[in-house]
Amino acid sequence: MNRLRTWFLAPARTLNFVFFLVPLAIILAYSLMSRGIYGGVEMPWTFESYQRLFDPLYGGILMRSFAISLLSTVLCLVLGYPLALFIARSGARRNLYLNLVMLPFWTSFLVRTYAWMFLLRDTGLINTVLLAMGVIREPLPLLYNDGAVVLGLVYGYLPFMVLPLYTTLERLDKSLFEAAADLGARPFVAFVQVMLPLSMPGIRAGSILVFISCIGAYLTPDLLGGSKTIMIGNVVQNQFTGARDWPFGAACSLVLMALVMILLKLFLRKGEDQLL
Amino acid sequence: MNRRLFFLSMTGLAGCTRGPVRARLNVMNWGDYIAPSVLTDFEREYGVKVRYGTYENNEEMFGKVMSGNSGWDVVFPTQNRIAPMRELGLLAPLNSRKLPGLSNLFPRFQHAPWDPSLEWCVPYMWTTTGLAYNRVKYPVQPSSWADLWDERAKGKLTMLDDVDDVFGAALAKLGYAYNSAHPDELRKAQVEVIAQKRLVRAYLSTEARDQMVAGDVLVAQTFATTAQLAIDGNEDLVYVHPKEPFPVYCDCAVVLHESKRSDLAHLFLDFLLRPAVSATIARATRTATPNEKAFESLPDVERANRTLYPTSEVLDRAEWPLPLPAEIVRLRDRLWTEVKSA
Amino acid sequence: MKSSRWLSAYAVGVYAFLHVPLLVLAAFSFNASKFTVWQGFSLEWYRLAFANDVLVESAWNSLWIALASTAIATTAGTLCAYGLWKRKAPILAGSLYLSLVTPEIVTGVSLLALYQWIFRFLRLQLGMHTVILAHVAFCLAYVVITVIARLRTFDASLEEAAMDLGATEWQAFRLVTLPAILPGVIAAALLAFTVSIDDYVITSLVAGVDSETLPMVVYQMARRGVSPVVNAISTLLVLFLGILIVASERLQQRT
């Protein structure tokens, strides 16, 4: 009987091992090797790639990626919390509202990023409207900067924040707030002292999901940042294509992975990450 | 359920093993660098199919073909990339008996300094790098690389997404050779490039054309061909060669060593050498042709175009970039990564 | 509560933020002019999109790749979900979870490294097969989660009853459990299909000469700047994927 269960797991195990774990091991090995003359990898073993990463010039990318991701996460939280609250309180229609949030998320990420290119460029809709209304005299440089990237990330990952928040808020016992009100607490105080602490699990889960999505972002900074605002994901891609410095790209990838894993370990309590 | 899954997977697998109906040639070229009619004419004449891909800079092309099993047959490196590719064994030697059209080229291209007997490459098109700007909307008349560091260009400037050219402009601004191979000079140039970065809207090569036409970009470092295409779309645009040295590039067709369709590739290369074909490409892509017979067949207006065919006194200021030693290439790639991350 | 009116107004604002960009994109795909000024209704850009050979070929490629990788991922994933549901396999579960949270760029370059390393020994190239396998690798986890979620609502005692009546384990799975969780399996397949069609990052790294996908072509066009043809394809793509997702959701909610 147990053997049958082993067979059930076998295909997934093989696929996962060969096409996920082994590649990561190869990347680990590459990160410790040297760059070939025109690209590729060669001996000897060296820590040089990691050393370069902590060099101030490159450290800047890590810092910037961190800062952009943090800002995007905070914005998602601020924007998403009231929405999650709204859906949690909406009674019968909540599935509809939830679907309305999740639906754009599951359609093409590339298209959604492109939509902002369309809106933000100098001759795009936003500038055209503002110019026509006479609010500005020259088009605003809305595209190809950090702000555009943050906007793109918030737009892209807001649903990731709303869903866990909604799940937590929905489970909150409404009578707690009534009790607080009975005790004379003003709504704002009730919010800060009662709702906020109780919604912490949702805040944590949502923030982690959004943050790790942002820090690994590639398309958004690439299309909306104009190859100037680059994040660590872009550096990795570049090292494996044009710059042909595979060891350095591998080191960046592993640092990124490590970051993601550390964050997950630190901020998700046991049981919250039980997707599987 | 299992039957359905089986059927689905068979369909899927069958789909990806559908074989080629006709022989196929895989050609990868710079963006905006051919006339579509040339491809269809070639396909029709020889009864084959051409798969055509594009890239934006030499590094991108090199990254793809470096492994030696990319699947491409013909690519178009710039002249200073040919020696390194040859050293890595990436190129197949050309059979000049299959390329009778070589005699159509200008003598100086038939004995090109980077490949005097044209054993490895066939010159395709040549161009220069310079400055394009919108003379109506941009308040200055730039005339040198140094003008690209002007504060007034902030947010409206694009530079080529190519380490050779961005560093070259900085090197020339500092008074060094455009194609310098000295590490110190390169590092000093890097400082300049990083300082310029806050003015740069984006690093774009052929992709800058639409933005120049639309007026989003007012001044740019571009290739003459991109500039001419943009000028065709917007009369306010002008292209100038800077006062300091600037590069002349010749992109050449090469056959990759990994290619199993060498004969077909040679047919394609010879097809490109036909005067009519070269002239068509030159006119469609707005580039300069190294093909003498093709040049003679162009109308006077085209031959007198100073953007594409500069006068000899302008060309005297130009440099033909040469291959750099491997160590310098590595240094340069690293400096460029640092610039992009800064 | 008075605050609920503010809350509703706020919600409308956020929904607008989420949906308006796509609606604008779609609206302008019907614009006769290529500039941001409305100049009449036109289907010209759609016509151009369908006339573009490269675009159409890439769409077919995307379709084949998605079908093949969905088939493989759904099969392996469903079996795996069942195995995990019955018996704990923490390493496999952890590894699948990791593959879910790993940034796409890391998955992509690691697969590229794997392929280039393998290709030193086998005379192969990047192509459809490398893309399909890459898609299977990252779709697997999506399938497993979706099917496990479904399995959790399934009553294990039904299976036990079947086996008490003499069925083997495999027969119990095939004849009792599988039909019951079928909506979940199909939902998982639809999800995997959507994820596969939309992927850009991983595909662009491991695609070969003959395997350009729709997102790759759209990306190249988007890099050149805004074009109404991209608006048109985008609208079609979003509609297509949207329908699949809605179907998947419906199936998941059916008991």
> Which helix or strand (DSSP H or E) is residue B315 part of?
helix B312-315
> Which helix or strand (DSSP H or E) is residue B297 part of?
helix B292-297
Nearest-Cα distance to chain C for B117, in Å, is 31
* Per-residue confidence (pLDDT) for residue B18, from 0 to 100: 45
Q: Pick from C216, C224, C226, C229 the residue to mutate for testing the B interface (most B CBs within 10 Å).
A: C224
* Per-residue confidence (pLDDT) for residue A191, from 0 to 100: 79
The span from the CA of B303 to the CA of B310, in Å, is 10
Shared domain for B78 and B183, answered yes or no, is no
* Per-residue confidence (pLDDT) for residue B17, from 0 to 100: 44
Cross-chain Cβ contact B216/A230 below 8 Å: no
For C67, the closest of B2, B8, B207 (CB atoms) is: B8
Residue A214: half-sphere exposure toward Cβ, Cα within 13 Å: 33
> Which helix or strand (DSSP H or E) is residue B190 part of?
helix B183-196
Residue A159: half-sphere exposure toward Cβ, Cα within 13 Å: 17
Quote the pTM value: 0.87
Geometric angle at alpha carbon A19, from A17 and A24, rounded to 5°: 80
Residue A109 near residue A126 (C-beta atoms within 8 A): no
Shared domain for C61 and C28, answered yes or no, is no
Question: What's the mean pLDDT in B187-209?
Answer: 89
Residue B50 covered by a domain:
yes
Residue A236 covered by a domain:
yes
Using a CB-CB distance cutoff of 8 angstroms, which residues of chain B are in contact with residue A239?
A: 337
Residue B97 has pLDDT above 60, yes or no: yes
Shared domain for B236 and B336, answered yes or no, is yes
Nearest-Cα distance to chain C for B155, in Å, is 16
The span from the CA of C18 to the CA of A161, in Å, is 13
* Per-residue confidence (pLDDT) for residue A62, from 0 to 100: 84
The band of B280, judged by pLDDT with boundaries at 50, 70 and 90, is very high
Shared domain for B82 and B223, answered yes or no, is no
Residue B159 near residue B166 (C-beta atoms within 8 A): yes
* Per-residue confidence (pLDDT) for residue B1, from 0 to 100: 44
Amino acid at site B184: D
* Per-residue confidence (pLDDT) for residue B15, from 0 to 100: 44
Is the minimum CB–CB distance between A120 and chain C shorter than 8 Å? no
Q: Cα dist. B23→B35, B257, C54 in Å?
A: 21, 18, 18
The range of the structural domain enclosing residue C12 comes to 1-42
Residue A195 covered by a domain:
yes
Q: Tokens in use for B31?
A: 């963006």
The band of B5, judged by pLDDT with boundaries at 50, 70 and 90, is low
Task: For chain B, give the mean pLDDT.
Answer: 88
Query: CATH code at C72?
Result: 1.10.3720.10
Nearest-Cα distance to chain C for A103, in Å, is 7
Question: What's the mean pLDDT in C213-235?
Answer: 88
Residue C235 has pLDDT above 50, yes or no: yes
Residue A69 covered by a domain:
yes
Between helix A94-106 and helix A146-171 the angle, nearest 10°, is 150
Query: CATH code at B90?
Result: 3.40.190.10
Shared domain for C191 and C71, answered yes or no, is yes
Using a CB-CB distance cutoff of 8 angstroms, which residues of chain B are in contact with residue A245?
A: 333-334, 337
What torsion do the CA atoms of B327, B328, B333, B335 make, to the nearest 10 degrees?
120
Render pLDDT for A33-68 as a digit per residue (tens, 0 to 9). 988 877 778 878 888 888 888 877 777 788 889 999
Return all residues near A54 (Cβ < 8 A) that are at least 6 apart: none
Shared domain for B199 and B291, answered yes or no, is no
Kindly tell me the sign of the dihedral angle through the C-alpha atoms of B194, B195, B196, B200.
positive
The band of B11, judged by pLDDT with boundaries at 50, 70 and 90, is very low
Location of structure tokens 């040469």: B322
Residue A266 has pLDDT above 90, yes or no: no
Could you give the number of structural domains in chain B?
2
Shared domain for B233 and B263, answered yes or no, is no
Q: Count CB-CB contacts under 10 A for residue B41.
A: 16
Residue A146 near residue A229 (C-beta atoms within 8 A): yes
Which residues, in sequence order, are bridge partners of residue B251?
B78, B125
Q: Count CB-CB contacts under 10 A for residue B211.
A: 24
Shared domain for C74 and C131, answered yes or no, is yes
Return all residues near B3 (Cβ < 8 A) that are at least 6 apart: none
For B330, the closest of A37, A122, A144 (CB atoms) is: A37
For B15, the closest of C67, C72, C178 (CB atoms) is: C67
Residue A275 covered by a domain:
no
Return all residues near C1 (Cβ < 8 A) that are at least 6 apart: none
SS3 state at B130: strand
Location of structure tokens 């490109």: B272
Chain centroid to CA B93: how far?
A: 21
What torsion do the CA atoms of C28, C30, C32, C38 make, to the nearest 10 degrees?
-40
For C169, the closest of A1, A119, A155 (CB atoms) is: A1
Q: Tokens in use for B30?
A: 């710079």
Amino acid at site C17: F
Render pLDDT for B224-236 as a digit per residue (tens, 0 to 9). 999 999 999 899 9
Could you give the number of structural domains in chain A?
1
Show which of residues 85-104 on chain A sit within 8 Å of chain C, judged by CB atoms: 85-87, 89, 95, 97, 99-101, 103-104
Q: What is the ipTM of this complex?
A: 0.88
Shared domain for C50 and C33, answered yes or no, is no
Is the minimum CB–CB distance between A243 and chain B shorter than 8 Å? yes
Shared domain for C75 and C37, answered yes or no, is no
Shared domain for C113 and C1, answered yes or no, is no
Which residues in B86-112 are b (16+ Cβ under 10 Å) and which e? bebebbbebeeeebebbebbbeebbeb
Return all residues near B273 (Cβ < 8 A) that are at least 6 apart: B99, B101, B102, B104, B105, B122, B291
Output DSSP code: residue B169: H
Shared domain for B255 and B224, answered yes or no, is no
For B330, the closest of A35, A122, A242 (CB atoms) is: A35
Shared domain for C122 and C91, answered yes or no, is yes
Task: Please provide the DSSP assignment of B271-285 as one string.
Answer: HHHSHHHHHHHHHHH
Cross-chain Cβ contact A58/B341 below 8 Å: yes
Output DSSP code: residue B318: E
Using a CB-CB distance cutoff of 8 angstroms, which residues of chain C are in contact with residue A118?
A: 21, 24-25, 28, 226, 231
Using a CB-CB distance cutoff of 8 angstroms, which residues of chain A are in contact with residue B57?
A: 242
Neighbours, chain B (3 or more CB pairs < 8 A): A, C
Cross-chain Cβ contact C68/B16 below 8 Å: yes
Q: CA nearest A214 in C: which residue?
A: C103
Query: CATH code at A107?
Result: 1.10.3720.10
The span from the CA of B83 to the CA of A55, in Å, is 33
The span from the CA of C169 to the CA of B200, in Å, is 66
* Per-residue confidence (pLDDT) for residue A115, from 0 to 100: 92
SS3 state at A254: helix
SS3 state at A172: coil
Return all residues near A108 (Cβ < 8 A) that are at least 6 apart: C197, C198, C215, C234, C237, C238, C241
Map chain C to HEC letters: CCHHHHHHHHHHHHHHHHHHHHHHHHHHHCECCCCCCCCCECCHHHHHHHHCHHHHHHHHHHHHHHHHHHHHHHHHHHHHHHHHHHCCCHHHHHHHHHHHHCCHHHHHHHHHHHHHHHCCCCCCCCCHHHHHHHHHHHHHHHHHHHHHHHHCCCCHHHHHHHHHCCCCHHHHHHHHHHHHHHHHHHHHHHHHHHHHHHCCHHHHHHCCCCCCCHHHHHHHHHHHCCCHHHHHHHHHHHHHHHHHHHHHHHHHHCC
> Which helix or strand (DSSP H or E) is residue A69 part of?
helix A56-88
Q: Tell me the backbone φ, ψ of residue B174, rounded to 5 degrees.
A: -80, 0
Residue B288 covered by a domain:
yes
Return all residues near B235 (Cβ < 8 A) that are at least 6 apart: none
Output DSSP code: residue A141: -
Residue C193 near residue C68 (C-beta atoms within 8 A): no
* Per-residue confidence (pLDDT) for residue A276, from 0 to 100: 39
Kindly tell me the sign of the dihedral angle through the C-alpha atoms of C21, C25, C27, C28.
positive
> Which helix or strand (DSSP H or E) is residue B24 part of?
strand B24-30
Shared domain for C53 and C24, answered yes or no, is no
Residue B16 has pLDDT above 50, yes or no: no
Residue A84 near residue A167 (C-beta atoms within 8 A): no
Shared domain for B111 and B167, answered yes or no, is no
The range of the structural domain enclosing residue A132 comes to 20-267
Reply yes or no: is the peptide bond before residue A44 cis, omega within 30 of 0: yes
Shared domain for B333 and B297, answered yes or no, is no
Which residues, in sequence order, are bridge partners of residue B50?
B25
Cross-chain Cβ contact A87/C11 below 8 Å: yes
Q: Tokens in use for B77?
A: 């490196």
Task: Please provide the DSSP assignment of B247-270 as one string.
Answer: EEEEEEEEEBTT-S-HHHHHHHHH
* Per-residue confidence (pLDDT) for residue B3, from 0 to 100: 53
Which residues, in sequence order, are bridge partners of residue B222?
B130
Shared domain for C67 and C142, answered yes or no, is yes
Which residues in B142-173 are b (16+ Cβ under 10 Å) and which e? bebbbbbbbeebebbbbbbbbbbbbbbbbbbb
Could you give the number of structural domains in chain C?
2
Shared domain for C130 and C169, answered yes or no, is yes
Residue A197 covered by a domain:
yes
Chain centroid to CA B262: how far?
A: 23
Cross-chain Cβ contact C210/B12 below 8 Å: no
Render pLDDT for C126-168 as a digit per residue (tens, 0 to 9). 889 999 999 999 999 999 999 998 888 888 888 888 888 888 8
Render pLDDT for B200-218 as a digit per residue (tens, 0 to 9). 988 888 888 888 988 888 9
Cross-chain Cβ contact C198/A85 below 8 Å: no
The range of the structural domain enclosing residue B271 comes to 2-126+250-305
Is the minimum CB–CB distance between C156 and chain A shorter than 8 Å? no
Q: Pick from B3, B8, B30, B61 the residue to mutate for testing the C interface (most C CBs within 10 Å).
A: B8
The span from the CA of B196 to the CA of B170, in Å, is 9
